[in-house]
Amino acid sequence: MQIHQNFSLKNYNTFGIEAKAKQFVAVHTLDQLKSVLEHHKNDKKFILGGGSNMLLTQDIDALVIHVDLKGKKVLKEDENFVWVESNAGENWHEFVLWTIEQDFGGLENMSLIPGNVGTTPVQNIGAYGAEIKDTFVSCDAMNIETQEMKKFTKSECNFGYRESIFKHEAKDKFIITSVVFKLTKCNHKISVEYGDIKAELAKNNIKNPTIKDVSNAVIAIRQSKLPNPKELGNSGSFFKNPVISREEFLKVKEKFPDVKYFEISETEVKVPAGWLIEHAGLKGYRNGDAGVHKNQALVLVNYGNATGQDILNLSKYVQKTVFDKYGIAIEAEVNVI
């Protein structure tokens, strides 16, 4: 295991931002991870997965540990279900495609989400009507201080919309090393309620979709709306969709009758930040190399040489413009470092 000094992280974050790590090491086994943690007990550490949900606004004055644990396997199965374990460093989308090839159902709606398996529980990733918590069983994590392994069950993870214990009590204390999902072997629960999927399937004349059809539909929708980080630096949705009180929502709806929304509860409504940003006139807005994506206003992009600070400034401008227009505060979903 080589420890690199003053190491560029440009290829390790999907925004493609140039920032340096004081030290950098990639670990490929649990033993390597344990040994790095033991030998660097007193050093500041920064854990890096797929780098798909962070904005680097400065160099990292720490030892960056890139969790590159590969491997996936079937743990057990019964007549109807299969328990599949993936190590943290597997690419999420490749893992999803592998489950679909085996005809294991449950992850298809989350095709093509960037990032690695190990970071999916952190923000309970979700798309097109599915969230990781729907199929998640448990994850193993290494305690950074003691190097002991701990299993987090689903209920211990406190999953919520883009939320989990790993953003709160367990933050900076554990490194997720593997995740177990319970998937269907038959009678797959096909979920096409999310409007875009239905339309995409209808376009292709598919009436009884398989999990593969759903995955293909999601891939087509994402490719049409969301920029590929390999071509245009980005971190997926930059903001969370704000959840506001019904009272507050009714005021907004009165002024903006076309506003889109999702019902959350009797008292709360979720409003798509993409709609708010677009209708504040910022879709496709660009300042230097930092921009709001032209097809999905929730996504901020790096046209080439934007710095993390440029993207951060743009995000603040978007937040302020949205607040001034609707009185709604939108929060960043990505971790700003």
Nearer to ligand EPU, 21 or 130 (CB): 130
Residue 16 as a binder of ligand EPU (CB under 6 A): the answer is: no
Q: How far is the CB of 43 from ligand EPU (least distance, A)?
A: 31
Q: How far is the CB of 225 from ligand EPU (least distance, A)?
A: 6
Nearer to ligand EPU, 99 or 234 (CB): 234
Active-site residue, selected from the candidate residues 111, 138, 215, 237: 237
Nearer to ligand EPU, 241 or 307 (CB): 241
Q: Which two tokens stand for residue 115?
A: 């990032």
Tell me the C-alpha distance between 114 and 164, whole Å: 19
Count of CA atoms in the C-beta half-sphere (13 A) of 185: 10
Tell me the C-alpha distance between 159 and 168, whole Å: 11
Nearer to ligand EPU, 178 or 241 (CB): 241
What is the side-by-side order of every strand in the sheet holding 174-184? Answer: 72-77, 81-87, 174-184, 136-143, 149-153
Residue 127 as a binder of ligand EPU (CB under 6 A): the answer is: yes
Q: How far is the CB of 257 from ligand EPU (least distance, A)?
A: 14
CB neighbour list of residue 137: distance below 8 Å, 6 or more residues apart: 83, 153, 154, 180, 181, 182
Q: How far is the CB of 178 from ligand EPU (least distance, A)?
A: 22
Nearer to ligand EPU, 36 or 274 (CB): 274
Tell me the C-alpha distance between 41 and 45, whole Å: 9
Pick the binder of ligand EPU from 272, 290, 300, 311 (CB under 6 A).
Answer: 272
Strand 286-287 to strand 149-153: parallel, antiparallel, or no bridges (unpaired)?
Answer: unpaired
User: CB of 302 within 8 A of CB of 54?
Assistant: no
Site for ligand EPU in 288-307 (CB under 6 A): 296-298
Strand partners, 317: none
Tell me the C-alpha distance between 33 and 233, whole Å: 29
Active-site residue, selected from the candidate residues 52, 86, 111, 162: 162
Pick the binder of ligand EPU from 274, 301, 314, 319 (CB under 6 A).
Answer: 274
Say which amino acid occupies 220: A
Nearer to ligand EPU, 33 or 218 (CB): 218
Of 55, 65, 47, nearest in space to 18 by CA: 55
Strand partners, 174: 143
- Interface segment toward ligand EPU; rule CB under 6 A; list 79-87, 273-281, 303-311, 316-324: 273-281
Residue 116 is given by DSSP the state B
Catalytic annotation present for 86:
no
Q: Which two tokens stand for residue 1?
A: 């295991």
Tell me the C-alpha distance between 163 and 187, whole Å: 29
Site for ligand EPU in 157-196 (CB under 6 A): 196
Nearer to ligand EPU, 164 or 241 (CB): 241
Catalytic annotation present for 222:
no
Site for ligand EPU in 189-248 (CB under 6 A): 196, 226, 236-237, 240-241
Q: How far is the CB of 275 from ligand EPU (least distance, A)?
A: 4
- Residue 66 CB coordination number (10 Å): 21
Catalytic annotation present for 162:
yes
* Interface with ligand EPU: number of residues (CB under 6 A): 18
Q: How far is the CB of 145 from ligand EPU (least distance, A)?
A: 31
Pick the binder of ligand EPU from 157, 283, 290, 302 (CB under 6 A).
Answer: 283
Pick the binder of ligand EPU from 12, 104, 128, 159 (CB under 6 A).
Answer: 128
3-state secondary structure 208-250: CCCHHHHHHHHHHHHHHHCCCCCCCEEEEECECCCEEEHHHHH
Residue 3 is given by DSSP the state P
The distance from CA 195 to its chain's CA centroid, rounded to whole angstroms, is 21
Where on the chain is the footprint of ligand EPU (CB under 6 A)?
Answer: 127-128, 196, 226, 236-237, 240-241, 260, 272, 274-275, 278, 283, 296-298, 333
- The set of catalytic residues is 162, 237, 333
